Amino acid sequence: MTEEALKELLYKIADDQLILGHRNSEWTGVGPLLEEDIAFSSMAQDKVGHSLAFYNLLHELGEQEPDIVAFTRNADQFHNSQFVELPIGDYSFSLVRHFLYDHAELIRFNMLAECPIDEIADVAKKLKGEIKYHVMHANTWMKQLGKATEESHNKMQSALNEALPYALGMFETSEFENDLIEAGIYAGEAAIELKWKDNITMVLEESGLSLPSWNTIKPVYGGRKGKHTDHLQPLLDEMTEVFKEDPTADW
């Protein structure tokens, strides 16, 4: 396995976390309930923190400082899935995305916790408890709104239908997939996808929400290779506004 393969894996994880963390923080101050506002913001902050841990791993592998990596790349240099860059929509979409994303993240972290590279395993072990709470949070909301009223059920179902093709895009494989699997770094995207489908199916059934047949959903790929929607660049422009004002500022 080459270092390039490892970097590619770390970049896609970190970029997903940074972009979703930034997106979810857009709810800060305008969340549906005071308590939920704080909880969702807190998880968004966790996500940005997770991306920092992975950018640090990349820095140890010779990449630039985390701030430079996070704040100076253009959209086509980001490896995040298109799923995480989509606008927050209404709260049902943000919750469904959080549910679909964090289930995948938890599986990924459980795998990485067994990674033979200690530095990566340590980060995964340290952070997976936070993701466990994120998944508890997502599951509880899915069950609550999936069954609360007809309106909430319909909103969640339509958000789910809208999100699924993009969610499958999280599992877009890289050209290094087999190298990473052979080196035992993790079991690969297809393995995560398989387990993810099982896990989300269980919760969706309990939530009274229905899954379309998987073979009718066409995954939206491209993000991992730098192909993004028009939504990413404006997000980056906003996220980097303060940094670009004075890149040397200490804050």
Partner 1 sequence: MSTLKSLDPRINRLNIPAEFGTSFSKTEKDQFITYEVFVQPKVDKPYQHEGIVHAPSEEMAFLFAKEQFSRRGISCSGVWVINTSNVKVSPFTENQEDIYDYIHQEIIEEANLNDKVSYEVFHLMKRGKQHKHEGQLEARSYEEALWNAKNEYAGEKPVMNLWIAKAEDFLKIEGEDFADIWDTLPQKKYRDAIDYKATEKIKKFKAEQNS
- Is 150 a residue that touches partner 1 (CB under 8 A)? no
Only one of the segments 17-25, 28-36, 115-123, 155-163 lies at the binding site for partner 1 (rule: CB under 8 A); that segment is 28-36
Binding residue for partner 1, selected from 77, 144, 178, 201, defined by CB under 8 A: 144
Binding residue for partner 1, selected from 3, 29, 30, 35, defined by CB under 8 A: 35
Nearest to 43 by CA among 142, 127, 134, 141: 134
For residues 234 and 213, give the distance between their C-alpha atoms in angstroms, rounded to a whole number.
34
What's the closest the beta carbon of residue 37 comes to partner 1, in angstroms?
A: 10
Nearer to partner 1, 30 or 34 (CB): 34
Nearest to 131 by CA among 52, 207, 47: 47
For residues 151 and 147, give the distance between their C-alpha atoms in angstroms, rounded to a whole number.
10
For residues 74 and 78, give the distance between their C-alpha atoms in angstroms, rounded to a whole number.
7
- Is 140 a residue that touches partner 1 (CB under 8 A)? yes
Residue 89 gets the label, from left (phi > 0), alpha (psi -120 to 50) or beta, of left
Only one of the segments 38-46, 102-110, 169-177, 239-247 lies at the binding site for partner 1 (rule: CB under 8 A); that segment is 38-46
Three-state secondary structure call for residue 194: helix
- Is 42 a residue that touches partner 1 (CB under 8 A)? yes
What's the closest the beta carbon of residue 40 comes to partner 1, in angstroms?
A: 9
Binding residue for partner 1, selected from 95, 127, 209, 232, defined by CB under 8 A: 127
Binding residue for partner 1, selected from 3, 29, 30, 33, defined by CB under 8 A: 33
Nearer to partner 1, 3 or 250 (CB): 250
Binding residue for partner 1, selected from 2, 76, 136, 190, defined by CB under 8 A: 136
> Residue 38: in which H helix or E strand, if any?
helix 34-60
For residues 15 and 119, give the distance between their C-alpha atoms in angstroms, rounded to a whole number.
19
- Is 240 a residue that touches partner 1 (CB under 8 A)? no
Amino acid at 218: K
Cβ partners under 8 Å of residue 93, min gap 6:
86, 159, 162, 163
- Residues forming the site for partner 1 (CB under 8 A): 33-36, 38-39, 42, 126-130, 132-133, 136-137, 140-141, 143-144, 148, 250
